[in-house]
Amino acid sequence: MLWSYAAGGESSQSTYDGAGMAAKDVIFVSYNYRTGPLGWLTLHELAEETGATGNYGLLDQIEALKWVYENIAAFGGDPESITVAGQSFGSGAAYHLVNSPRTKGMIKGAIAESGLKDPYDPDLWGYGSDYRNMTWAYAFSKTYAESLNATSVADLRSMNLETVLSGTGVSDFTGFDPVLNYHAIPNKYIVSLDEGAPNDVPILVGNNKDENGIDLSTTYTVAEYKSEINSTYGPYAAELLALHPAENTTQATAAYNSILRAGYCTSTWSWAKRWDQSSTEPVYYYLWTYSPPGSDGATHGSEVSYALNNLYAQTTSSYTDTDYEVANIMSSYWANFVKTQNPNKGGSYNNGTLPYWGPNVPAQQNTFELGSLWKKIAFATAKEIQLYLEYFKYATPSPY
C-alpha cells in the first residue's frame, strides 16, 4: 500500500502509522510530497524552462510510485501488486495516479477515502480530486509572487524557505492546487472518467456520515434551515424542503444534515456509476458511520486510524474494546483489498468471518455501511438522487 496523506499532513503523523497494516501482512509505504507553492506554483517562466509548469507535488507522487515499483521487491514486496491509497487530498493523489499515463501498469488497485465526486458537483472544487485551470493557476501564482515582491523565478529562488512559505494562500491551503496542464494531469476530470483511466483497476471509495459541511455541534432554527437550503439549492430547494419537513430546531437541524449527507453520497455514488461504465473492474462504495470516542460524529478523517489499524498510536484518545474490534474489521477489509483487490478475500480478519461486501452495482442505489451494521444500506431516496443529479448539472453546466 502506497499511502498519500491529506492536505496539511506529513508522512510521520501517527495517523498514518503503518505498523497496523504490517501486522496484517501488508507492506505499507508512506512518503512526503511538496505542497503549497513548492508543490503547485504555476508560472510562465517555469513553463519556459521545462515545457510544463505546476503539479510538482503530483510529480513527486508519481516518482514515489515509480520508486516503489522499482524497489519494493527488496523489501519483500510485489511490484505487480501496488495499491495506491489516501484520504481527502490524499485520495485525490491516489486518483490522479490512477489517471496518469505516466503510471500505466504500475497500479493494481486504489483506495480513495472521502475525495471523489460527480464531475458536475459544485462542491468538487476544494475536494480531493479537484484541480485548477491554467488561467486561474497562472493568475494566483502571479499574485503569490507579487505578495513577496518577486518579479522573477530567480527572485523566488533567492529567498529562504520560510519566506517562500509565507506567501498568499499557504497557511490555509487555499489557492495552491493541482492544475490541468495536460502533462501530469492528462485531461479534464469528466473526460478521463467517461473515457476510462490508463490504469483500469478495482477501486474502494467512500464517504463519512458527518463530513462535507455537516457539523453536529451546530443547530438550525426552522427559518435558518429553510434559508440555508434556499440559498444553496435555488430552484431545487422547495422539493428538498418538502422531502425533509421540519417544525422545530431539532427537526430542522436533522433535516439540514440529511440533505447534505444525501447530496455528497449521491455525488460519490454517481462518480462510481460513471467509473463503472468505462471500467472492467469493480468499485466498492462505502459509508463510514462510526463515531470515535470524544468525537462529534463520523467526521472527515475519523476513519483513517481504524482503516489503517493504528489506534494504538493515537495517544490522546481512550479507545474501548468496541473501537478495537471496529478497527479490526475495517482494516481487514482494507488489507484484503490491498492483497487481492477484493475486501472479502485475503485472510486478514482473525475473529471469524467478515460480513460480505459486494461490489457497487450501478442500478442499485446503495452503499456498504462501515461501523455498526456492516451491510448495504440506502444512502438516499430515489427522488433525492434524481434531484441532486439535476441540481449538479444546473449548478455546473460545463465541468472544468
Is residue 146 situated within a structural domain? Answer: yes
Residues 383 and 262: their CA atoms lie apart, in Å, by 11
User: What residue numbers bound the domain in which 217 lies?
Assistant: 2-395
Q: Quote the pTM value.
A: 0.95
The total number of structural domains in the chain stands at 1
Query: What residue has cell string 529562488?
Result: 157
The number of beta carbons lying within 10 Å of the beta carbon of residue 151 is 10
Contacting residues for 301 by C-beta, under 8 A, at least 6 apart: 6, 15, 87, 88, 114, 208
Is residue 316 situated within a structural domain? Answer: yes
Active site (annotated) includes residue 88: yes
Catalytic: which of 4, 88, 100, 141?
88
Is residue 400 situated within a structural domain? Answer: no
The number of beta carbons lying within 10 Å of the beta carbon of residue 354 is 18
Residues 184, 186, 189, CA angle at the centre, nearest 5°? 115
- Whether the CB-CB separation of 327 and 309 falls below 8 Å is answered with yes
Residue 233: enclosing H or E segment and its boundaries? helix 222-233
Is residue 192 situated within a structural domain? Answer: yes
Q: Which three cell numbers stand for residue 6?
A: 491529506
Closest CA to 358 of 289, 282, 269: 282
Sequential pLDDT tens for the chain (400 residues):
999 999 888 899 999 999 999 999 999 999 999 988 999 999 999 999 999 999 999 999 999 999 999 999 999 999 999 999 999 999 999 999 999 999 999 999 999 999 899 999 998 876 656 788 999 999 999 999 998 999 999 999 999 998 998 875 444 445 788 999 999 999 999 999 999 999 999 999 999 999 998 989 999 999 999 999 999 999 999 999 999 999 999 999 999 999 999 999 999 999 999 999 999 999 999 999 999 999 999 999 999 999 999 999 999 889 999 999 999 999 999 999 999 999 999 999 999 999 999 999 888 999 999 999 999 999 999 999 999 999 999 999 988 7
Ordered DSSP codes for 283-315: EEEEEE----TT-SSSBTTTTHHHHTT-GGG-T
Instruction: Output the CA torsion sign for 84, 90, 93, 99.
Output: positive
| CATH number where 157 lies | 3.40.50.1820
